[in-house]
């Protein structure tokens, strides 16, 4: 049995365990997630973030969801990852490049644990999201999707990972737990999909709840907030700069033109650090 050092972090309530994969021989990470993502039997986290060396950027970030699958992008995770790097003196730069499965993103330190992230331009071509709800290059905007509980209108965006955005009149009573998994696992999304339920409050404010692929409902989703800002602009529901209020905090989203990158600004925090035993206790689910 050995000990694995970890740090617990969050971005607007979207919480993470961070491991340094450069200096330590880590266990099989799907098994690690199965053992420690549980909030009763483990530490509890929405995603596991792993720091790696990169041949293409300053660092590489692996992202594993709670059920043990590796995913492409996590906007809140990028901010937490950059704070982890700065707090440990691994970089003093105001801006770094981070390689992910969804591409290279550039977080920028703006002070007081606030980080702005250049998330790159949104992907709106259906095949690249991917979704079968559209063909050619035309974006999927307010398209009816048939699910077991009825019909919903979805707008589809990729921010390096796939999102389906659903606008509702009352966010508190939105059927997140029913329709979230139905949309996530719909055949129209071959890689499954993250689902955002969104209420427009004004042209400057949107309220969002997120059903995250492989996790369930989370307090926040940074890439989802970006997708929400893009979808709302496509539907002419918000301005170029909009606040997205999540259950764990508020993110600022800017998208200046169809060719522009989406800029997400929000907080990151370290909660605690410690050591985990590997292999885990026989009583820990795996």
Q: Which residues are catalytic?
A: 74, 221
The whole-angstrom separation of Cα 214 and Cα 31 is 15
CA triple 107-220-109, angle to 5 deg: 20
Closest to 273 in 3D by CA, of 7, 2, 3, 4: 7
DSSP string, 236-285: T-S-SEEEEEETTEEEEEEE-STTSPEEEEEE-EEEEEEEEEESPPTTS-
Torsion angles phi and psi, residue 241, rounded to 5: -120, 115
Q: Phi/psi of residue 153, each to 5°?
A: -95, 125
H-helix or E-strand spanning residue 178 = helix 176-184
Q: What is the DSSP annotation of 41-79?
A: TS---SEEEEEE--SSSSEEEEEEETTS-EES--HHHHH
Q: Cα dist. 124→19, 26, 168 in Å?
A: 33, 36, 21
Residue 135 DSSP class: -
Q: Is 101 in contact with 47 (CB distance < 8 Å)?
A: no
**Residue 122 gets which letter from DSSP?**
P
């Amino acid at each position: 049995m050995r000990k694995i050092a970890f740090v617990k972090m969050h971005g607007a309530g979207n919480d993470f365990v961070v491991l340094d994969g450069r200096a330590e021989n880590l266990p099989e990470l799907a098994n690690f997630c199965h053992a420690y993502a549980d909030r009763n039997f483990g530490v509890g986290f929405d995603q596991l973030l792993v720091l790696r060396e990169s041949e293409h950027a300053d660092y590489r970030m692996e992202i594993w969801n709670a059920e043990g699958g590796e995913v492409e992008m996590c906007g809140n995770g990028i901010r937490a990852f950059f704070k982890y790097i700065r707090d440990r003196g691994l970089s003093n730069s105001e801006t770094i490049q981070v390689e992910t499965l969804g591409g290279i993103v550039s977080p920028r330190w703006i002070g007081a644990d606030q980080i702005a992230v250049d998330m790159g331009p949104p992907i709106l071509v259906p095949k690249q999201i991917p979704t079968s709800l559209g063909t050619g290059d035309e974006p999927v905007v307010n398209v009816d999707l048939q699910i077991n509980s009825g019909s919903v209108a979805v707008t589809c965006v990729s921010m390096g990972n796939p999102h389906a955005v659903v606008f509702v009149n009352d966010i508190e009573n939105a059927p997140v737990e029913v329709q979230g998994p139905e949309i996530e696992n719909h055949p129209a999304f071959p890689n499954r999909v993250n689902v955002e339920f969104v209420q427009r409050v004004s042209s400057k404010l949107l309220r969002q709840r997120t059903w995250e692929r492989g996790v369930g409902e989370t307090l926040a989703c940074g890439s989802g907030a970006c997708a929400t800002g893009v979808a709302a602009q496509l539907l002419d529901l918000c301005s170029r700069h909009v606040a997205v209020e999540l259950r764990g905090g508020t993110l600022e989203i800017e998208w200046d033109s169809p060719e522009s990158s989406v800029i997400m600004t929000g907080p990151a925090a370290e909660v605690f650090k410690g050591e985990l035993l590997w292999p885990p206790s026989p009583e820990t689910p795996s």
